[in-house]
Chain A
Amino acid sequence: MIPELGLYAIILATILSGLAGLLPLLGWRWQYANLMGTAKPLTLVTTGFIGLAFMLLVYAFVVDDFSLAYVVIQSTTTLPVYYKVSAVWGGHEGSMVLWVLMLSGWGAAVALASRSLPQDLVSVVLAVINLVLFGFMLFILLTSNPFERVLPNIPMDGQDLNPLLQDIGLILHPPLLYMGYVGFAVAFAFAVAALITGQFDSAWARWARPWTDIAWVFLTLGIALGSWWAYYELGWGGWWFWDPVENASLMPWLVGTALMHSLAVTEKRSGFKVWTVLLAIFAFAYSLLGTFLVRSGVLTSVHAFANDPDRGMFILGLLTITVAGSLLLFALRANRFKESISFNLLSRESFLLINNVLLVVSAFIILALTLMPLVWDAMGGGSISIGAPFFNMMINPIALLLVFAVGVGQLLRWKQHKQDGFGRWLLVMLVASVVLGWGWAWWMGDALSIWLVVSAVSIVWVLLSTGREIHHRIAGKANKWQVLRRQQPSWYGMMCGHLGVIMVVLGAAFVTHFEEKIDVRLVDGDRIEFAGYDLHYKGIKHVEGPNWVSDTGVFDVYRGGELVTTLYPEKRFYTVARQMMTEAGIDDRLYRDLYVSLGEQLDSGAWTARIQVKPYVRFLWLGALVMSLGGVLAVLDRRYRRQA
Chain B
Amino acid sequence: MKKVWLLLPFTFVFALIVVFFFALRDETDSSILESALLNQPLPERPLKLLDGDEMINLAEVAQDGPFLLNIWGTWCPACRTEHPVLNELAAQGIRIVGVNYKDEPLAAKKWLIELHNPYFLNVEDPIGNYGLDLGVYGAPETYFIDGQGIIRHRVVGEVTRTMWREELQSIWESL
Contact = CB atoms under 8 A, between A and B. Distances in A.
Contacts of A378: 19, 22-23, 26
B2 interface: yes
Nearest to A333: B6
B53 A374 contact: no
A309 B10 contact: no
Interface in B28-60: 28, 33-36, 38, 48, 52-53
B127 A309 contact: no
A296 interface: yes
Contacts of B52: 603
Interface residues of A, number: 48
A101 interface: no
B21 interface: yes
Contacts of B53: 602-604
Contact of A331 (B10, B22, B28): B10
Interface string B1-22: 0110011011001101101111
Given A278-B9, A298-B24, A384-B36, A580 B19 contact: no
Contact of A304 (B13, B24, B127, B137): B137
Contact of B124 (A278, A300, A579, A600): A600
Given A298-B24, A385-B36, A580-B102, A331 B19 contact: no
Nearest to B50: A603
A173 B20 CA distance: 27
A534 B74 CA distance: 40
A376 to B, nearest CB: 11
Contacts of A297: 27
Contacts of A582: 127
Given A309-B24, A374-B19, A603-B53, A323 B127 contact: no
A331 B3 contact: yes
Interface string A233-257: 0010000000000000000000000
B65 interface: no
B33 A292 contact: no
A578 B24 contact: no
A298 B20 contact: yes
B104 interface: yes
Given A323-B13, A603-B52, A309 B6 contact: no
Nearest to B138: A304
Contact of A330 (B6, B14, B19, B104): B6
A328 interface: yes
Given A316-B20, A383-B38, A335 B102 contact: no
Nearest to A605: B53
A375 interface: yes
Given A378-B19, A383-B34, A383-B36, A334 B126 contact: no
Contacts of B36: 373, 383-385
A324 B34 contact: no
Contacts of A278: 9
Of B27, B33, B126, B135, most A-chain CB atoms within 10 Å = B27
Given A309-B28, A327-B10, A582-B127, A374 B34 contact: no
Interface string B133-152: 00101000000000000000
A309 B27 contact: yes
Contacts of B21: 313, 316
B132 interface: yes
B164 interface: no
Nearest to B22: A378
A445 interface: no
Of B24, B35, B132, most A-chain CB atoms within 10 Å = B24
B111 interface: no
Nearest to B4: A331
Nearest to B53: A603
Contact of A382 (B34, B104, B124): B34
B127 A331 contact: no
Of B3, B10, B33, most A-chain CB atoms within 10 Å = B10
Contact of B132 (A302, A312, A335): A302
Contacts of A281: 9
Nearest to B36: A385
B120 interface: no
Given A304-B137, A330-B6, A382-B34, A324 B14 contact: yes
Interface string A39-66: 0000000000000000000000000000
Given A382-B38, A602-B53, A324 B20 contact: no
Contacts of B38: 382-383
A334 B6 contact: yes
A600 B16 CA distance: 44
Contacts of A375: 19
A344 interface: no
A4 interface: no
B135 A324 contact: no
A360 to B, nearest CB: 11
A274 B14 CA distance: 20
A298 B25 CA distance: 10
A282 B21 CA distance: 20
A331 B135 contact: no
A277 B17 CA distance: 21
B66 to A, nearest CB: 21
Contacts of B104: 573
Given A282-B9, A298-B24, A302-B132, A578 B75 contact: yes
A296 B34 CA distance: 18
21 contacts: A235-B127, A309-B27, A316-B17, A316-B20, A320-B17, A324-B13, A324-B14, A327-B9, A327-B10, A330-B6, A330-B10, A331-B3, A331-B9, A331-B10, A371-B16, A371-B19, A373-B36, A374-B20, A377-B34, A378-B23, A599-B127
Interface of B: 2-3, 6-7, 9-10, 13-14, 16-17, 19-28, 33-36, 38, 48, 52-53, 75, 102, 104, 124, 126-127, 132, 135, 137
| Nearest 7 CB-CB pairings of A with B | A327-B10, A385-B36, A383-B34, A578-B75, A309-B28, A331-B6, A331-B7
Given A319-B17, A377-B23, 7 more contacts: A274-B6, A278-B9, A282-B9, A335-B3, A383-B36, A599-B127, A603-B52
